[in-house]
Structures are given as C-alpha cells and as structure tokens.
Structure 1
Amino acid sequence: MRTKKGRILHSKGRKLPFNGEDMGPPVDYAAELAAALRREMERRRVAAKTVMRWTGASERTVKAWLSGISVPSGERLIALMRHSDEVFVTVLRLSARLDGECAGHLDDVRRHLAAASTSLEKARSWLK
C-alpha cells in the first residue's frame, strides 16, 4: 500500500518508517482536552448539558470527553473552541502555535474589554 508521498507501508504494518521529523514528545490529547473542559465548566459554572448544546453531542459522549475516554470530532472540536477559551488555548498550545506567555494575554484582553465596557456604561449614564 502506498501513502500520499509515495512511501511504502508494509501490508502487515501500521506505522510508517521514521522520516527524520521530530514531532516532540507524545501528547495525551484526550487527557489534555478533558482537563480543559473541566476547567471551563468550573470557571463558568456550566454543566454537561451546556456542552451538549454547544456541540450537539449526547450526554454520554460529553461525559466520555470529560473523563478523557474519547475526543470530539473536528466539527464538535471547532464548536467547543468557539464557546470555550480553555479548549481554544489548549488546542493552540498542543499544536505548538501558542506559548505560555500568549495564553495569559487572552485573560488580559478580557479584563480590558470588561473595563472598557464598564467605562462606556458610566459615560452613557452621565450623558442622560
């Protein structure tokens, strides 16, 4: 059997030969995502039913995600990332697209936006 790049996969094998690219240490994706979902649920006080609404997944599926038994499919992962900052940052970190310094910036931006919103509300009340 040939792969896309023309490398041969042995008919009884399941892994391609090492091609020299260092992928870094293996990541327990399911455990990392489960931890992110649990942090989001604690932080925002959302229940599994809220996660079900976000993704359209069943309760059993969401509980499997929370326990790290399974992971969401692509569409459901995107829905989780849309609604959960914890999941969003975790996926970026696992993909090596976000360093620890940038992760804290999201919280800073959220605080600045909240302060700006409060200032706007105060200014609106003064104009009345």
Structure 2
Amino acid sequence: MSPTNKGRNIQSKKGKGFHPSTEGRLGAAAFASAIATALRNDFGEDRSAVKTIAGLTLANERAVKNWFNGINGPSGEFLILLCRHSDTVLETFLMLAGHGELVKVKKFGDVKTKLNEMLLLLGDLEHLNDK
C-alpha cells in the first residue's frame, strides 16, 4: 500500500522565477560568428587552415570546420589554445569580453617589442659599418 498524498506539495508553488538579465549578453551565434571571422582573417579560408588549427589545438577537424563556418564557437580549453596561436582571436575575445582597452595595451606591447628588435638590428648594422 502506498502512502497518501495528504500534506504533500506535488508541484512547486507558482511564484516569481529567477531570470537573470540578458542585457549586454552576447548570444552563442554572435560569439561563433566573431570567432569565425577572426579565424578566417588569421589563417585564411582554405582546407589547410582547418588542418593547421586542428593540429595546433588537437581539436577534431569537424569541430574546427564548425568554428570556421560560425556554426559553433570553441569552448574554454580550445578558445585558450586559439588565443595563444592567434592574436586576432585574442583581440576578438577581449573585445567581446568588454576589454577593448586591453587590446590597445597588447598592441602597444607588440610595437614596443618590434621597436626593440629594430634597434638591435640598427645596432648590428652600425657595428658592421664600423669595421
């Protein structure tokens, strides 16, 4: 014999549910599209680009094709690996995260590095001319 239902709430009481604000939220389609654009800009659009990225991230080629086509975006670990290998993906990620100022800081650091390399080359050239 089963127990009676007396005094039990089978359904939860109706009330105001918790719905977090969607204001300023980026949808999955917009994320996938932005990453796809960044990948195509950095790696090109041919089949070898898919193979290159699959090799760099150790992701399945089908998944990488989906990233390129904007069907799905890469998940956490793969997004981190892509950011390591692609400045454009990193910059896109920072912009999507609302940290556009960090893109400027990164570019400033890149320019500083290039200037230091140029100064070393100029120093080497000057040293060769002195001989």
State the TM-score, normalized to the length of structure 2.
Answer: 0.67
What fraction of aligned residue pairs are identical, expressed as a percent?
A: 33
Consecutive unaligned residues of structure 1, counting only runs of 5 or more, are 1-9
- Once residues 40 and 88 of structure 2 are traced to their aligned partners in structure 1, the CA distance between those partners, rounded to angstroms, is 9
State the TM-score, normalized to the length of structure 1.
Answer: 0.68
Residues 6-36 of structure 1, C-alpha deviation per residue, up to 9 Å, x if partnerless? xxxx99xxxx6324x4641543111111111
Q: How does 1:1-128 map to 2 (within 5 A)?
A: 17-19=18-20, 21=21, 23-27=23-27, 28-42=30-44, 47-96=49-98, 98-99=99-100, 102-127=102-127
Highest relative contact order (Cα 8 Å, sep 6+), 1 or 2? 2
- Once residues 22 and 65 of structure 1 are traced to their aligned partners in structure 2, the CA distance between those partners, rounded to angstroms, is 24
State the one-letter code of the partner of 1:110.
D
Q: Please, what is the CA RMSD of the aligned residues?
A: 2.7
The 1:22–1:58 alpha-carbon spacing in structure 2 relative to 1, beyond 3 Å, is closer
Residues 82-117 of structure 1, C-alpha deviation per residue, up to 9 Å, x if partnerless? 111111111111122x12x54344334323322220
Tell me the number of residue pairs that the alignment of Structure 1 and Structure 2 aligns: 109
State the one-letter code of the partner of 1:78.
I
Q: Kindly indicate whether the alpha-carbon contact (under 8 Å) linking 2:54 and 2:64 is maintained by their aligned counterparts in 1.
A: yes
Consecutive unaligned residues of structure 2, counting only runs of 5 or more, are 1-10
| Bigger-Rg structure (1/2) | 2
